[in-house]
């Protein structure tokens, strides 16, 4: 297949990790070189086949800059793991809409440049896939960019918890336009939700009955600020529903974000509690702490999703693509158990 031409909505930490990852794995040819990837090659495509051709943001420290410089501008704080050559892609000014909450306004230097025509810029860049990496609370902006993608004839990947692929109306609009759509809320490579679900399934399959369990996240970075202010309840609902899908029965479950800690920067601490009973009704309790860096945690899954959407374009799939949604997202239109989601995804890209 030809290069996969993508456009990024939001040049934050996740965009930084994504672009650094493309460069980092650009020469990978074997398992040792591809450490950290689930799939070096997927549908005969490697990360090197992904090309970012357009990017949009509202921060003055990024707008007008080459993308190679913009991904390291403040307030981004994800680790720098590799140098990035000039990419020849200038970050253009997108509309603000609801992209900033009251708390995040203090962290952003809003550009005074005029808003660009998004659909026109997408067409001019040759983009075929748009990736939404906006803050979680930017629900109006997410819908706006989804419509712009339809206008420009692009597939859409919604990495945020805003309901785009899960919205039957929007999904139908993509279907009517003959375009694939995937989402919502990208899972992490080693995220707390997936780890929680895996633990619960392992215990349940072993005959343990789970009585109560919670997963609480504390993080730094602008996304955590936005979550605390605007999407805490929505993320709790999404995470709780996702965790609950790992068990064949209903029980007491809470999963969500609890606070913002500035000195954690782009790191996230997750705390787990599991209470249950096993043989002869013997009690069992588990307490765990788990720490990751947020932005790189999205890269591995996003690489797979982007390549799978390229396959969907070639297959002329339209509307929400269930096999990709269930594999790569916490809130797909159709929730599947982990094994079924992985199996259907492999069958789709085979």
Distance CA 172, CA 151 (A): 14
Distance CA 4, CA 134 (A): 21
Burial tier of 240 (Cβ tally within 10 Å: 0-12, 13-18, 19+): middle
Class level of CATH domain 192-293: alpha beta
Reduced to 3 states (helix: H, G, I; strand: E, B; else coil), residue 211 is strand
Q: Which residues of the chain have pLDDT under 70?
A: 1
Reduced to 3 states (helix: H, G, I; strand: E, B; else coil), residue 174 is helix
Q: For residue 31, what pLDDT is reported?
A: 79
- Structure tokens of 66? 């080459």
**Residue 19: alpha-carbon gap to chain centroid:** 14
Q: For residue 103, what pLDDT is reported?
A: 75
Distances (CA, A) of 323 to 1, 320, 332, 341, 349: 21, 9, 9, 7, 9
Q: For residue 1, what pLDDT is reported?
A: 61
Distance CA 52, CA 265 (A): 26
What pTM does this model have?
0.89
Q: Of the candidates 247, 173, 169, which has an alpha carbon nearest to the alpha carbon of residue 208?
A: 247
- The CATH fold assigned to 4-187+296-349 is Rossmann fold (3.40.50)
**Domain segments of the chain: what residues?**
4-187+296-349, 192-293
Q: For residue 59, what pLDDT is reported?
A: 97
CB 141 within 8 A of CB 98: yes
Q: For residue 233, what pLDDT is reported?
A: 85
């Amino acid at each position: 297949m030809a290069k996969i031409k993508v456009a990024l909505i939001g040049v934050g930490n996740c965009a930084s990790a994504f672009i650094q990852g493309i460069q980092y794995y650009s020469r990978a040819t074997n398992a040792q070189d591809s450490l950290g990837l689930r799939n070096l090659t997927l549908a005969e495509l490697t990360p090197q086949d992904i090309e970012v051709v357009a990017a949009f943001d509202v921060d003055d420290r990024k707008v007008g800059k080459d993308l190679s410089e913009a991904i390291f501008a403040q307030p981004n704080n994800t680790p720098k793991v590799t140098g990035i050559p000039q990419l020849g892609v200038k970050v253009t000014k997108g509309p603000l809409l609801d992209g900033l909450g009251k708390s995040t306004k203090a962290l952003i230097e809003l550009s005074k440049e005029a808003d660009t025509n998004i659909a026109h810029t997408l067409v001019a860049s040759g983009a075929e896939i748009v990736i939404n990496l906006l803050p979680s609370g930017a629900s109006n902006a997410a819908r706006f960019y989804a419509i712009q993608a339809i206008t420009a004839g692009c597939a859409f990947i919604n990495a945020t918890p805003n309901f785009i692929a899960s919205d039957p109306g929007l999904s139908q609009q993509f279907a009517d336009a003959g375009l694939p759509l995937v989402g919502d809320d990208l899972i992490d490579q080693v995220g707390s939700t997936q780890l929680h679900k895996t633990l619960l399934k392992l215990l349940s399959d072993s005959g343990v009955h789970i009585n109560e369990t919670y997963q609480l996240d504390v993080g730094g970075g602008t996304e955590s600020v936005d979550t605390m202010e605007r999407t805490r309840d929505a993320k709790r609902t999404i995470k709780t529903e996702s965790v609950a899908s790992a068990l064949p029965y209903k029980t007491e479950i809470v999963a969500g974000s609890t606070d913002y800690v500035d000195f954690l920067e782009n790191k996230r601490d997750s705390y787990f509690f599991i209470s249950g009973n096993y043989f002869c009704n013997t009690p069992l309790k588990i307490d765990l702490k788990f720490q990751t860096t947020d932005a790189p945690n999205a890269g591995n899954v996003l690489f797979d999703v982007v390549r799978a959407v390229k396959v969907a374009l070639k297959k002329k799939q339209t509307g929400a693509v269930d096999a990709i949604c269930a594999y790569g997202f916490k809130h797909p239109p159709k929730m599947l158990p982990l094994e079924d989601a992985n199996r259907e995804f492999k069958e789709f890209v085979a």
